[in-house]
Chain A
Amino acid sequence: MKKIFLILLYSFSFFGLHANRNDLTIIFEKGNKAYEKEAYTQAIFLYESILQKGYENAALHYNLGNAYFRSNNYGKAILNYERSLRLNPSDKTAQMNLQIVNAKTTDKMEEIPPFLVNKWWLSFIKAFSLNTWALISLGSLLIFCLVLGYFLLSQNYTKKRMAFYTSLCIAFLFIFSIVCSGKAYSIRFADNQAIVMDAFVQAKSSPAENGTDKFVLHEGSKIIIEENLNNWAKIKLPDGNIGWIPESSFEII
């Protein structure tokens, strides 16, 4: 019984019932003040302290990215812009800032453009945040139930037929929004994308120090991790090159 109560409390924590949220906002605003005064190291410290408390939001990652950019730490800046976009994929300012930092990094990655349909699909998913998608799913479920009830209880034949088709449409909308939420969820929590943090790292042909050097990656490059083995990660570049780099040299978005 106590367990169920705890689970309930935990589940409702998503609706902002925690008392320390105001404290977080105060720290956040302190960080903004420090940023205004160009005390970027202090701003970074304050923003990071919020993350250490276990809370985040898109604006926090965005501001942290800005502070890192101003202290010329481009790897961390890219990481935080990417994280900000994970939380709020349609944020135009974060997208633009990310583009500007990417232009400053050494490695120019030629990403293979995805199929047009796929691109549309992804940009459609990214038009809403994951929370919005979840709310759309629940909302459509609720409307579906209402329309279904009307269909079941109505005695007028025409109204019954209308309600039937409407409920079909809404059922479709519900399934579609669940699929979109699932996709958005997999994008949001994809743990195979990482940003190189070291100034440069040599990718080896095998997960060992004495492996042959295959290519050199520089700070801020986005990589895809395929496999992990003994503190080494097998990475794939957008152009298809594969190599092993130590796990300490990058951070997962």
Chain B
Amino acid sequence: MKRYCFYLFILLFLPLVPLKAQDAPILQASAPKVVSTGSSFQVVYTANGEIQGLQAPAFGSVGFNLIMGPNYNTEFYMSMNANGQLQQSRSISVSFFLVPTAEGVFTIPAASCKINGQTVKSNPLTIKVEKGKAPASQMPQTTQAPNSPRSAEAPAPTELNDQTIFLRVVPSKTKALKGEQIILTYKLYTQVQVPRYQVTKLPSNKGFWLEELDKAGGKAKQYEETLNGRRYTVGEVRHVAIFPQETGVLKIDPLEMDVLANIEVRGQRGSNPFSDFFDDPFFDDFFNNSGFRSMQTVKKTLRSNSILIQVDPLPENAGTNFTGAVGTFSLKSSVDKDKLKANEAITYKMVFSGRGNLMHIDVPAVHFSPEFEVFEPKTTLNLQPSDGGISGTKTFEWVLIPKSKGNYTIPAAQYSYFDINQKKYVNLSTQEHTIVVEKGLPGSGYSSNNKQKVEVLNKDIDYIKSHAERWTPTRKTFFLSFGFWLTAILICLFSAVAIFVLWKLRESSKDVLSMRLKKAAKMAKKRLRKAEKFLQEQNIDAFYEETSQALWGYFSDKLRIEKSKLSIEEIQENLLKNSISENTLRQTTEMLNTCEYARFAPGKTTQGMNDFYKTCIETIVNIENELK
């Protein structure tokens, strides 16, 4: 019944399948080349069309026992082609499970069948049978009912072991250069249904840069594969691209995964009431084979194998602008406009595209004109993971603001990478861009002022001093030194001495002056002694007479002029010659005039007489002092 359902299923889908009737029908026989005695193996006849009337060879006559088959199996493949269209293809296979009966080399003759009405013959198979250990676990599950739908795929296991479900990691290459992309495919081989799986432990990617290739929510690719004579459903559960960052032999640790697997459990008497009645090997077989089997979900932890990858260093002759990019890349540059006004923004774009470690492409050095205000470049990484590995683009975008008008050139930037196909370093270069900057509108842009500060491009220390200053003993100074104290004391000492000497000198000259004054006064009093006598007697006429006589006599003596030749004018002239002060000269003239006038003038008072006497004394003292 179930088999009919299966065929109905095929029939339903038949119209969708693009019939490959035009293709030459092929019947391909496949089997392991070497098998061991005691263990079963599978012979599969695969055709690219409906198999009709398969005439299987007589396996028994060539040294094999047929233990199961023929099992029909149809596989549908859905795949996407380059144009994005879905394509369907199918293959129909018929399999036989055989057990060798003896050691030796045996040839299975060709089978024949009709495919799309044509009679086709398969290739014959040569199989070498060796003596095998034939462990029990490798025995096929012969108890399985031949009409069970599972039997069309594989013998349904009733327990989970390393043969029925396991995880393998397949690297795209085991020998790579540093930075070269390697794709790891984690394959889950199973002979049971796996409704769920979950990665529990990711391997540490020491020495690698790792990039996941699976899209989130994407479905694992599934297909069937025969391995060691067993058919497995294979799910590619994880794809990663790795980029070795170190050289040497690098180990990729196993990946751990929890799976939930449905296994068939037979002979569960407690759960099957019929078993109580038919507790008998025959019935036991009967019930089990008739589908009285329960399914059980079992959890199992799987570990993938660990693999070793030999990473070789890149060749030595790397250029200066190589930063570790490995793959196949191309480089393009562009500007969004080539004519603009000063203080307007322009975008300069550099796009790397290709396959390889795009994430390791650094910002290439571009020497922009210092007249450009350059902002930090914006980096956009667009990775497109696919089964073939990482490809995509990396874009660097600079915003530039020219500050003044002129014609500018953005020079070509160089970037070198290691080309994995050509196995050598390749230098990529952008093209040059010429930009015409016109005068900006006043007040436009970010700076309205055309005057600019002198920009400090780089800070560096000033140059050395060439002039040798005065050398001083280390950690010594003039201040508070002996020389300092000495100088200070000497200044004080010399000043004190100088002041003292000057003061003393002036004091002594003061004494000489007073002596002379005393002498002069004495002499004047002597001359005017008679006059003084008349002054005390209040004899006015006699006083003036005597004073006049005394004064003329004094000047005659002093100036050494004869009395008869003496006149006021003569005295004045002579005193002037002797550089007498004007004050004293005036005093003298006044005194002589007063004296002459008073001798003959009436109305003289005693008061005037007294004053005149004092004036005369004073004048004579002054003349004595000044004439020396």
Contacts and interface: CB of A to CB of B under 8 A. Distances in A.
Interface of A: 7-8, 10-16, 18, 21, 24-25, 28-29, 32, 35, 50-51, 54-60, 62-63, 66-67, 69, 93, 96-97, 100-101, 103, 130-131, 133-135, 137-138, 141-142, 145-146, 148-149, 152-153, 181, 184-185, 188-189
A146 B491 CA distance: 10
Given A58-B469, A66-B462, A145-B491, 16 more contacts: A14-B478, A16-B471, A25-B468, A29-B468, A55-B473, A56-B473, A59-B467, A59-B468, A60-B468, A62-B465, A66-B461, A69-B461, A138-B491, A142-B495, A152-B499, A189-B477
B474 interface: yes
Contacts, number: 123
Contacts of A142: 491, 495
A93 B481 CA distance: 29
Contact of B468 (A57, A152, A184): A57
B470 A57 contact: yes
Contacts of B464: 32, 35, 62-63, 66-67
Contact of A185 (B472, B474, B477, B499): B477
B269 to A, nearest CB: 72
Contact of B478 (A59, A103, A131): A131
A28 B470 CA distance: 12
A11 B471 contact: no
Contact of A54 (B469, B474, B494): B474
A1 B89 CA distance: 123
Q: What 6 A-B pairs are tightest by C-beta distance, nearest first? A: A145-B495, A11-B483, A134-B479, A11-B482, A59-B465, A63-B464
Given A11-B483, A69-B461, A153-B503, A32 B477 contact: no
Given A145-B491, A149-B499, A55 B471 contact: yes
A153 B506 contact: yes
B483 A12 contact: yes
A59 B495 contact: no
Given A149-B498, A152-B499, A181-B479, A16 B470 contact: yes
A171 to B, nearest CB: 13
Contacts of A35: 464
B503 A24 contact: no
Contacts of A62: 464-465
A131 B476 CA distance: 11
A10 B83 CA distance: 100
A133 B479 contact: yes
A38 B539 CA distance: 113
A71 to B, nearest CB: 12
Nearest to A63: B464
B362 to A, nearest CB: 24
Contacts of A188: 477
Contact of B462 (A16, A28, A93): A93
A137 B474 CA distance: 22
A146 B495 contact: yes
Nearest to B484: A134
B216 interface: no
Contacts of A55: 471-474
A50 to B, nearest CB: 8
A145 B492 CA distance: 7
B316 interface: no
Contact of A100 (B461, B476, B477, B482): B461
A194 to B, nearest CB: 15
Interface string B407-425: 0000000000000000000
Contacts of A13: 473
A130 B478 CA distance: 8
Contacts of A141: 488, 491-492
Nearest to A31: B464
Interface in B503-521: 503, 506
A32 B479 contact: no
Contacts of B487: 138
Contacts of A29: 466, 468
Nearest to B495: A145
26 contacts: A7-B482, A8-B482, A13-B473, A14-B476, A16-B470, A24-B471, A28-B468, A29-B468, A56-B471, A57-B472, A66-B461, A67-B464, A100-B461, A131-B477, A131-B479, A134-B478, A138-B487, A138-B491, A141-B491, A145-B492, A148-B495, A153-B503, A181-B479, A185-B477, A188-B477, A189-B477
A7 B467 CA distance: 31
Contacts of A130: 477-479
Contact of B502 (A51, A93, A153): A153
A14 B472 contact: yes
A14 B483 contact: yes
B471 A97 contact: no
Nearest to B499: A149
B482 A59 contact: no
A60 B494 CA distance: 38
Nearest to A7: B482
Nearest to B502: A153
Nearest to A141: B491
A101 B461 contact: yes
A142 B493 CA distance: 11
Nearest to A24: B471
Nearest to B475: A189
B485 to A, nearest CB: 9
A97 B461 contact: yes
Contacts of B481: 11, 14
A13 B220 CA distance: 93
Contacts of B469: 57-59
A50 B483 CA distance: 24
B471 A21 contact: yes
B168 to A, nearest CB: 50
Nearest to A52: B474
B462 A134 contact: no
A184 B477 CA distance: 11
A15 B483 contact: yes
B14 interface: no
B280 to A, nearest CB: 82
A145 B502 CA distance: 14
Contact of B499 (A15, A57, A63, A148): A148
Given A7-B482, A11-B483, A138-B487, A57 B471 contact: yes
Contact of A10 (B466, B482, B502): B482
Nearest to A25: B468
B462 A97 contact: yes
A56 B483 CA distance: 19
Contacts of A16: 470-471
B503 to A, nearest CB: 6
B577 interface: no
A93 B464 CA distance: 10
Nearest to B471: A55
A117 B596 CA distance: 82
Nearest to B463: A66
Contacts of A28: 468
B11 interface: no
B364 to A, nearest CB: 27
Contacts of B491: 138, 141-142, 145
A11 B482 CA distance: 6
